[in-house]
Chains A and B, each alone.
Chain A
Amino acid sequence: MAATLALTGARRSPVLAARLLAAALLLAAWQGLAVSGLLFRDVVPGLDLIALALARTLGSAAFWTNLGVTAGEFVLAVCLGGSLGILCGLALGASRFLGRAYEHWVYWLAPTPKIIFFPVLLMLFGAGPESKVAMGAISAFFPVAISVAAGVRGVHSVLVRVGRSCRASALQMALKIYLPAVRGAVLNGLRLGFGVAAIGVLLAETKLSKAGIGFLLMDAYRLFDMPLMYALLILVVLFITGLNMALAQLNNRNTGQNIGRK
């Protein structure tokens, strides 16, 4: 099927043909590995089994209930971490003194693996959704804060001087000058923050939870239901990558309209 598509595609576009051919080869290699018996049984299930598991998962009420739990935690985490990140980024970017005092801490802490804070969050917020929200919020905070701080420093000085000459308060400067001028940086930070927040929430769910997609994933691992595990991973990757691409497009569209940059 994929090979036929590749042949049809080759006539239209060699790039499409190359992609289809590579996809066909990968899928054939996977199926070959699945039926070869080279790996332990079920470790690499056949494509038919994965497709069935995918359909079964999408048709089950439990999946949608757990997706709702994860989505709720994710949205709260992004709202909390994102808004704190925007506020911090605005402060660090607008004030040279604050930037010099605190920004390198934010910058150094940003690449540490956030999941290691989970035991502390469990103690502080319990084993319920709160600790997962906190995990996602911490993850989202850093990329947003760094991106917004860098964006604020790139705001045209004329705009800042106009705001100051109009005696705008700190809040007015933030709302009327900086935020409109750095919307590209905010969107870019949020795009990065969305991805890491989702990962933070899901990883926390895999570590300790009673609900959510991470919980389902670990349940599949415990039951050694490999097709279900693959199906869940495919859905999660599609969701996060899709969200990332949508936000990137939104950001690209916005960059063209950005006039407040140096």
Chain B
Amino acid sequence: MRPGPAALFAPLVGLATIVAVGAAVQGLLLADVISVYVMPLPTQVLEALGRVVTQEHVAARFLLTTFETASAAALILVVGVPLAFVLYASKLQRVAFEPWVAAWASAPLVLAYPLFLVLFGRSPLTPVVMGFASGVAPVVLKTLEGLDGIRPVLIGVGRSLQLSEAQIFRKILLPAALPAIFTGMRLGLTFCLINIVAVEFLINLGGLGQLINEMAERYDLPGTWAAIGFVVLASMVFFIVAERAERWLQRSH
């Protein structure tokens, strides 16, 4: 079914609303209803966006955050997926410890950043470990969900063909659980990136999170808003790409 004119018109209205709010804020600031010492002019923010990107080493910061996220993601994959298979292997382990993993997933781990700072020092290792800690549980839980969804007949066929446990794992369990692992990885990466940027901001170290903190400490209001805008934009692009990649991987699987 083709989308109606309202469906095409609606996203434009959304975009126009953002422009209208920006214009209204500009007007209120120019009319001195809102103080320019509290909020910068939206036009200044747009101008500052170029300055922030060119003068604040955004490319290097972006790469650093990406590297930290990728390192944490690799750790999540290496630890999370095997852990899920270990839990899946024994019903007792599963019943006993799956609630622990679920509790870990809902625990406010980011609040422990002063502790991680003491344990791992003021180095990129701290955001990486925090990213790993926050992203590993969704991967374990989603992989378990994927393993639960495997039709018993597939495993039965494997056994009737006298496949070894390792072959059953490689030829049946892992391929069948892949879509759920992709979903878990997307969720894990999302939590991981949120925590990494947050910790970078809080401890004033590293990539994109630190950029905002530096701008705020310099009292560069347009720069702070522009940096926040840039980080929000980067996160939005990341989440959209991750979601599309997950869908593509699930389709192609």
Residues of A within 8 A of B (CB): 14-15, 18-19, 22, 39, 43, 96-98, 100-102, 104-105, 108-109, 111-113, 115-120, 122-124, 195, 198-199, 202-203, 206-207, 214, 217-218, 220-221, 224, 226, 229-230, 233, 236-237, 240-241, 244
Contacts and interface: CB of A to CB of B under 8 A. Distances in A.
Contacts of B69: none
Contacts of B209: 113, 116
Given A18-B96, A22-B96, A237-B107, A203 B118 contact: no
Contact of A43 (B118, B193, B202): B118
A100 B10 contact: yes
B10 A15 contact: no
> Which of B13, B97, B111 gathers the greatest number of chain A CB atoms within 10 Å?
B111
A112 B232 contact: yes
Interface stretch (B145-153, B166-174, B176-184, B235-243): B235-243
Given A43-B119, A113-B197, A203 B202 contact: yes
A111 B239 contact: yes
A206 B108 contact: no
Contacts of A206: 111, 113-114, 202
A199 B92 contact: no
B29 interface: no
B189 to A, nearest CB: 10
A9 B196 CA distance: 40
Contacts of B14: 100-102, 104-105
A100 B90 CA distance: 46
Given A100-B11, A195-B106, A233-B111, A112 B236 contact: yes
B108 A198 contact: yes
B225 interface: yes
B111 A18 contact: no
A112 B190 CA distance: 9
B108 A199 contact: yes
Given A123-B221, A221-B118, A233-B112, 4 more contacts: A18-B93, A108-B239, A111-B239, A237-B108
15 contacts: A15-B96, A97-B6, A101-B10, A101-B11, A111-B235, A116-B198, A116-B209, A119-B212, A119-B216, A124-B39, A198-B108, A199-B111, A202-B111, A206-B202, A221-B117
A96 B95 CA distance: 43
Nearest to B236: A108
A98 B13 CA distance: 9
B123 interface: no
A236 B108 contact: yes
B114 A241 contact: no
Interface of B: 6-7, 10-11, 13-14, 17-18, 38-39, 92-93, 95-97, 100, 103, 106-108, 110-115, 117-119, 190, 193-195, 197-198, 201-202, 209, 212-213, 215-216, 221, 224-225, 228, 231-232, 235-236, 239-240
Contacts of B10: 97-98, 100-101
B201 A229 contact: no
- The A interface, classified by DSSP as helix, strand, loop or mixed, is helix
Contacts of B97: 18-19, 22
Contacts of A43: 118-119
Contacts of A102: 14, 17
Contact of B115 (A14, A122, A233): A233
A143 B198 CA distance: 18
Return the 4 tightest CB-CB contacts between A and B, nearest first.
A119-B216, A100-B10, A221-B114, A101-B14
B224 to A, nearest CB: 5
Contact of B111 (A19, A101, A104, A203): A203
Nearest to A23: B100
A229 B202 contact: no
Given A123-B221, A233-B115, A244-B106, A111 B194 contact: yes
A220 B195 CA distance: 22
B111 A123 contact: no
A102 B17 CA distance: 9
B118 A19 contact: no
Nearest to A204: B202
B217 to A, nearest CB: 9
B194 A218 contact: no
Contact of A229 (B13, B100, B114): B114
A32 B179 CA distance: 41
